[in-house]
Structure 1
């Protein structure tokens, strides 16, 4: 194993939500064929911003699953070598037009000013990266779980959400059950 070229520093220990809680209106849109195109545009933008850095870039979230209704927000996961070495990735992402929204242990979130693209930064080997890809790949392959997930999201639309995190938390039980089935299917 090659040692990390920069010394590992302690990570942040608390959540820093830049700008505070933002009220939002959540709407689901039927699957849009332009979502993968938008993702590819942002993938290229991210790779150019981080050129010279070995990063993982993947389309995640509901917009990455053909046929699945979603909030019209493109979610991207970026895997870096060291989350604490922000100088290796954060400055480049900010220079590319993204703005910092969240800094918390093991995770950073930047997004477009229009809030239509969220870029989640983790270390490449963080379990969260694997979990995002597990869910995405299973929903792409399993029509019944894709339908269950969509119906769950649609039922949550009858509630007013003050924060995107509250909406995400409300889906947790269904997501955990789907990921359990995904693990079982993989053996």
Structure 2
């Protein structure tokens, strides 16, 4: 884990433009998510991007284009694909979901809350620092260990959204 680096935002912008050029209208949403998307937050230096694809299960409609850009498919789940560019200097995880999926809402709500709330950002950073000191057999256990604080922060985000009028 390292201190925030503004290069991460630049890396996202370059990759996002590349994705939009390659996919055109098929890229319904391209957003920087995860800790590297939050100025001031410590992070593993891996840029995470959520890509809204109408039907991630229809791999023929988009996967060849992503592979031409250098992405390798790492996870295949119903309505979700995760790809990675393994460049050790500029790693990127690409999460493909339908743009209206709950997971997409959670990623964006969490990111936006951390950007807006210094206290939540500091709380999350403290939890990450504590957890990174432990030995993990699998990175998924580390991710699971963060889930309760993430849920807590998202709940505050959802609660603080003003009601829609009209």
Q: Paired residue for 1:118?
A: 93
Give the aligned length: 160
For 1:136 and 1:67, the matched residues in 2 are separated by: 12
Q: Does 1:157 align with 2:132?
A: yes
Q: Paired residue for 2:104?
A: 129
For 2:51 and 2:139, the matched residues in 1 are separated by: 20
Give the TM-score of the pair, scaled to structure 1. Answer: 0.82
Q: Which runs of 5+ in 2 are unaligned?
A: none
For 1:137 and 1:82, the matched residues in 2 are separated by: 25
Matches within 5 A, 1:171-186: 171-186=146-161
- SS, match of residue 162 in structure 1: coil
* Per-residue deviation, 1:52: 4.6
Distance 1:101 1:148, change over 3 A: same
Q: Deviations over 1:72-111 (max 9, x none)?
A: 0000000011122111211110111010100012210000
- Contact conserved, 1:100 with 1:110, CA < 8 A, in 2? yes
Q: Deviations over 1:11-44 (max 9, x none)?
A: xxxxxxxxxxxxxxxxx10000111001011111
Instruction: Note the aligned Cα RMSD (angstroms).
Output: 1.2
**Which protein is richer in helix relative to its size?**
2
* Per-residue deviation, 1:166: 1.4
Highest RCO, 1 vs 2 (Cα 8 Å, sep ≥ 6): 1
Q: Paired residue for 1:109?
A: 82
For 2:25 and 2:155, the matched residues in 1 are separated by: 37
Q: Does 1:142 align with 2:117?
A: yes
Give the TM-score of the pair, scaled to structure 2. Answer: 0.92
For 1:29 and 1:54, the matched residues in 2 are separated by: 30
Which of 47, 52, 64 lines up with 1:91 in the alignment? 64
- Contact conserved, 1:36 with 1:63, CA < 8 A, in 2? yes
The 4+ residue runs of structure 1 with deviation greater than 3 A are: none
- SS, match of residue 114 in structure 1: coil
